[in-house]
Structure 1
Amino acid sequence: MNDWFASLKSIVGRHEPGDDPHALPRAAAALLLELAVTDEGGDAAELDIVHEAMRRTFGLGTAELQDLLDQAHQAQRESVSLYEFTRQLRTGLAPEQRAELVEWMWRVAYADARLEKHEEHLVRRVADLLAVPHPEFVRRKLLARGD
């Protein structure tokens, strides 16, 4: 019984921000990667947007960015729900930052010049989990589509 609890605690703790300065960028990257890989492994345009989002939003250098994205990709593959990431971001980011993340998700979705239904559904779910108000969700969609 003790081993089971320790195992569960390590799974939950793996995604807790704690003292890790990269916890929030890693959670954001995991969500963006989730969107980028929804259609047949993702393409270069979508992954370029993920890189740009992480550089602009979190000011990461090339080496640091690649390491963080590797960690985020691993976390994304191991996750059982979006809530693991959105919970951290909802409490760790200001409302404007959460809305900006939704806009970056829209940019990833539009990167290949087509919006799939599952991509829109994923962005909508994440926006709900991040408590981004619907008018802001729509505004960010229009901003991303206009680029």
Structure 2
Amino acid sequence: MTSTYTTTVTTSGDRDCRIERISDAPRARVWAAYTEPDLIARWWGRGNPVDVVTWEFRTGGHWRFVEHHDGTSDGFEGRFREIVPEQRLVQSFEWDGMPTHASLDAADFLDLGDGRTKIVVESLFLTAEDRDGMLDSGMEEGMNASYAALDALLART
């Protein structure tokens, strides 16, 4: 399934990044795709195989995913800072490719009232160099591939 929506990535300061995406699914289903390990493994890594290595879904809990692709793998991890069911998820995010350069990501899930959900992620990086390094790493391309895999998953479930 090809989505009719695109992902918008903007910056307004030197350390932030705002990501917006609309999904053709109710908020409860989008939330489940973000918070249930068996669903996460089916879309999160651009549709590539993903191992959910650690999943402690509680405030202060640790998560770690490993994506397998092209004969290699990439690890990602963080800790949950705030969880408001079906509304907001705040967590740290670190990619093994840029160790010690974590961001704080706040995802809001907005019910558009017509069976669609708007996902808004505000990422705050420690430095401008961290933000720019993540943007230059192919983050936007990978994120768009992951959202396409999310769209396909939501269409099937």
- TM > 0.5 fold call: no
TM-score normalised according to structure 1 size: 0.31
TM-score normalised according to structure 2 size: 0.29
Structure with greater strand percent:
2
Structure with greater helix percent:
1
